[in-house]
C-alpha cells in the first residue's frame, strides 16, 4: 500500500476518501481538513485569540497541536472534574503538552471543580440528585463560556470530531429533538453579549484519524474514556455508526456533512439563530451570564447544592 500523494510506503488507509497516506501526507491531510473546516464554517481568522477546551484526550490535544502548527493563537482551558485517578491522569497529559508548547507562547488555564464548586463532580451530582454527566455538562458549558468571555477570547474551540457529531445527530434525529437539530453545527455564533462564539474545527476528521494523528506526531493522551461515560447512549450510537461505516465507508461523513449542507441551503442558520437567541436570551439574575430563564441552569444547580449542604 503506497501513499496516494507521494507514492512512498503508506502508514494509514482512509477508506472514506479512497486514499492511503505516509506520515507527512497524512499530517498534511489532517491540517488541510481543519483549514477547510475553519474557512467554510467561518470559524476564526489569523488575528483571533482562540481558547481550546482540553481534556487530555486525543481530540482536544490534537486540536490544540493542529491550531498551533497552522499558526493560530491558541491557549488551553482545562476543567479538573475531580474524578479520582482519571482526572489526575488526564490533567498530567494536558500539563505535559502545555509545558512542551509553553516556550512558543500558549498558556494553560485551569478550573478546578472541587475548589470552585466546592465538591468533585460525582459528589455534586449526588447532592443535586442529577445524573453525573448532566451536572458535568452544565458546569463545563458554563465555565467554558465564562472563561472565554472573561479572558477576552474571540472564540472557544472544542475537539468534537466526526464520530461525535454523527452520533449526536443520530440521537437528535431518533428523538426528533428539533431545537437541538437547529443548533447542531460546527459554528455557534456569539449571538448576544456574554455568550462566546463556539466552534468545532475537527468535524471533518474521525476518531480513528485523530488517534493516528496523535500517535504519528508523538502527542501523549489519555486513552481511557471518563469512567462516567460507561453505558452512555452516545457510545451505542457510535457503535451502530461504526458498523455502518465498516460495511459502507463514508456513511458518517455523508450523514453529518449532508445534514450541514441541507442546513446551509435551508437558511443562513447562524443569522437565524442569532436573531432567535437575541429574543430568547436574557441576563441571569444571579451571575449575569446569558440564559433563557430568570436564573441560569448553573446558578440553579449551585443554589440547590448549597441548600443540600445547609441541610
Ligand atoms: Fe463529564 Fe460524563 Fe463526559 Fe465524564 S463522561 S466528562 S462526567 S459528561
Ligand atoms: Zn447564573
Tell me which residue of 200, 154, 179, 137 sits closest to 276, measured CA to CA: 179
Is there an atom of ligand 1 within 6 Å of 226 CB?
yes
Whole-number Å distance between alpha carbons of 168 and 308 = 33
Cell of 55: 481534556
Whole-number Å distance between alpha carbons of 240 and 245 = 9
Q: Which of 89, 136, 137, 234 maximizes ligand 1 atoms within 8 Å of its Cβ, making it the mutation to test the pocket?
A: 136
CA of 149 to the centre of ligand 1 (A): 23
Predicted model pTM: 0.94
Whole-number Å distance between alpha carbons of 35 and 17 = 17
Rounded to an integer, what is the distance from CA 295 to the centroid of its chain? 25
Rounded to an integer, what is the distance from CA 28 to the centroid of its chain? 22
CA of 266 to the centre of ligand 1 (A): 33
Secondary structure of residue 19 in the 3-state scheme: strand
| Cβ–Cβ under 8 Å, residues 168 and 234 | yes
The number of the ligand nearest the C-alpha atom of 138 reads 1
Is there an atom of ligand 1 within 6 Å of 113 CB?
no
Is there an atom of ligand 1 within 6 Å of 132 CB?
yes
Secondary structure of residue 12 in the 3-state scheme: strand
Rounded to whole angstroms, what are the CA distances from 203 to 33, 45, 170, 241? 9, 18, 15, 15
The number of the ligand nearest the C-alpha atom of 294 reads 2
Contacts (Cβ under 8 Å, ≥6 apart) of 229 = 133, 235
The tens-digit pLDDT sequence of the chain (311 residues) is 899 999 999 999 999 999 999 999 999 999 999 999 999 999 999 999 999 999 999 999 999 999 999 999 999 999 999 999 999 999 999 999 999 999 999 999 999 999 999 999 999 999 999 999 999 999 999 999 999 999 999 999 999 999 999 999 999 999 999 988 988 999 998 878 888 999 999 999 999 999 999 999 999 999 998 999 877 889 999 999 999 999 999 999 999 999 999 988 876 555 555 666 667 788 899 999 989 899 999 999 999 999 988 87
Is there an atom of ligand 1 within 6 Å of 191 CB?
no
| Cβ–Cβ under 8 Å, residues 159 and 53 | yes
Amino acid at each position: 500500500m503506497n501513499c496516494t500523494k507521494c507514492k512512498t510506503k503508506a502508514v494509514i488507509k482512509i477508506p472514506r476518501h479512497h486514499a492511503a497516506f505516509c506520515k507527512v501526507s497524512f499530517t498534511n491531510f489532517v491540517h488541510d481538513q481543519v483549514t477547510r473546516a475553519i474557512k467554510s464554517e467561518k470559524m476564526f481568522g489569523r488575528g483571533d485569540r482562540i481558547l481550546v477546551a482540553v481534556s487530555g484526550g486525543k481530540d482536544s490535544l490534537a486540536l490544540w497541536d493542529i491550531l498551533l502548527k497552522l499558526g493560530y493563537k491558541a491557549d488551553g482551558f482545562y476543567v479538573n472534574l475531580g474524578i479520582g485517578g482519571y482526572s489526575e491522569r488526564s490533567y498530567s497529559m494536558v500539563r505535559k503538552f502545555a509545558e512542551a508548547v509553553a516556550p512558543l507562547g500558549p498558556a494553560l488555564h485551569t478550573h478546578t471543580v472541587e475548589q470552585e464548586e466546592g465538591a468533585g463532580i460525582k459528589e455534586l451530582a449526588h447532592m443535586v440528585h442529577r445524573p453525573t454527566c448532566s451536572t458535568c455538562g452544565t458546569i463545563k458549558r458554563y465555565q467554558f463560556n465564562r472563561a472565554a468571555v472573561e479572558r477576552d477570547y474571540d472564540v472557544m474551540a472544542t475537539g468534537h470530531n466526526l464520530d461525535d457529531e454523527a452520533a449526536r445527530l443520530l440521537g437528535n434525529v431518533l428523538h426528533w429533538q428539533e431545537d437541538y437539530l437547529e443548533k447542531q453545527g460546527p459554528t455557534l455564533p456569539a449571538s448576544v453579549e456574554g455568550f462566546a462564539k463556539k466552534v468545532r474545527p475537527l468535524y471533518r476528521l474521525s476518531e480513528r484519524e485523530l488517534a493516528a494523528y496523535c500517535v504519528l506526531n508523538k502527542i501523549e493522551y489519555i486513552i481511557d474514556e471518563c469512567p462516567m461515560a460507561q453505558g452512555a447512549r452516545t457510545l451505542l450510537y457510535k457503535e451502530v455508526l461504526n458498523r455502518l461505516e465498516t460495511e459502507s465507508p463514508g456513511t458518517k461523513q455523508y450523514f453529518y456533512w449532508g445534514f450541514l449542507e441541507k442546513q446551509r441551503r435551508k437558511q443562513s442558520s447562524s443569522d437565524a439563530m442569532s436573531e432567535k437567541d437575541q429574543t430568547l436570551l436574557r441576563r441571569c439574575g444571579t451571575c449575569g451570564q446569558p440564559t433563557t430563564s430568570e436564573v441560569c441552569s448553573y446558578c440553579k444547580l449551585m443554589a440547590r447544592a448549597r441548600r443540600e449542604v445547609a441541610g
